[in-house]
Amino acid sequence: MARVDVAETGSGGAQDRRPESRIRSVVDRWRGDRGVWRRGVLLAVCAVLTALVMIFHAQIPNRIGNLGSLTETFLPWFGLAVPLIALAALWRRSATALVAVLLPAVVWVNLFAGLITDKSGEGGDLTVVTHNVNADNPDAAGTARQVAGEGADVLALEELSPGMVPVYEKALAGTYPHHSVQGTVGLWSKYPIDRASPVDIRLGWTRAMRATVAAPSGDVAVYVAHLPSVRVKLNAGFTASQRDRSADALGEAISREPLERVVLLGDLNGTMNDRALKAVTSQMRSTQGAAGDGMGFSWPASFPMARIDQIMVRGVEPTASWSLSKTTSDHLPLAARVRF
């Protein structure tokens, strides 16, 4: 009889250790704690401020150190504040902070949840790849062979140093019989290239080009661009003025494009959220937003934090968009399929 009593007591102890029992115990403690609504006010304020930054990012001025563009470049990462504030709220036993953190959570989901789902489809008339190969790439030939092995019909390369152009031409000749290099950008294609020429993006040297690719399903205008780099400096903020001027010039060139089908490939040193690229982003679609799987961050390759490399289209329908495996460059290559 004594053994039966011990077994029953042990069974009850096991039940008390079940997850639902623990949750019930926590709720009971919080219910009897009069400070749950008074504690964590600072955490609640942080949650509200995070939500406000995400909601009103377009109103953050660029007059001081291009703060607005800097915020928009890394805007998706503001979502990390949600689990951090929630964990801190649980540790502090703050019901106020837990309720407040729902606000940035809902805002982030509204802004970015659509990007993390797989929207890729089947088919497509043209596969394109873009890659900033890095002027100091220690294995240019290996990088060329790697991206050529992805099977793209059209390949755009940026940051081509003059001395390495012959290396890329030799490595890609077997896969791409047609190519054109203009300044530090180049276009390789399985299909004939016509009317290749530089595009003036107000730099004084060539970092953008335009060409017509005679694809089997019809002609398409392909732009390759490498906008100026940006830096974050303590004394100057987000130094992006030169990039912004080049983005405006690129947008003007694309707006004058006579062909209906347009594809832009390149390193724009900015994200789709950055209002400074509006001259381009307002008239073209991102393949990642339309047919991607995940955020598609491309830089830096060792730990991608932002999608500053872009594949954008007009007059064609994206069917898939994805990031490729890391090369010896500091950027990840990007690929997309489009349907005419």
pLDDT of residue 30: 66
Does residue 133 carry a pLDDT above 80? yes
Q: What is the distance of C-alpha 271 from the center of its chain?
A: 6
- Residues contacting 180, CB < 8 A, separation 6+: 186, 187, 193, 196, 209, 211
Beta bridge partners, 263, equal 222, 313
Q: Which residue has the higher pLDDT, 22 or 78?
A: 78
Residue appearing with tokens 């490939």: 265
Domains of the chain with bracketed CATH = 33-116 (no CATH), 126-339 (3.60.10.10)
pLDDT of residue 22: 66
Does residue 194 carry a pLDDT above 70? yes
Q: What percent of the chain lies above the pLDDT cut of 90?
A: 82
The one-letter amino acid code at 136 reads D
pLDDT of residue 177: 98
As a whole number, the mean pLDDT across the chain is: 91
- Nearest alpha carbon to residue 126 among 156, 157, 152: 152
What average pLDDT does range 24-50 have in this prediction? 81
The one-letter amino acid code at 59 reads Q
What average pLDDT does range 89-98 have in this prediction? 93
The Cα–Cα gap between 38 and 40 comes to 7
Three-state DSSP at 98 gives helix
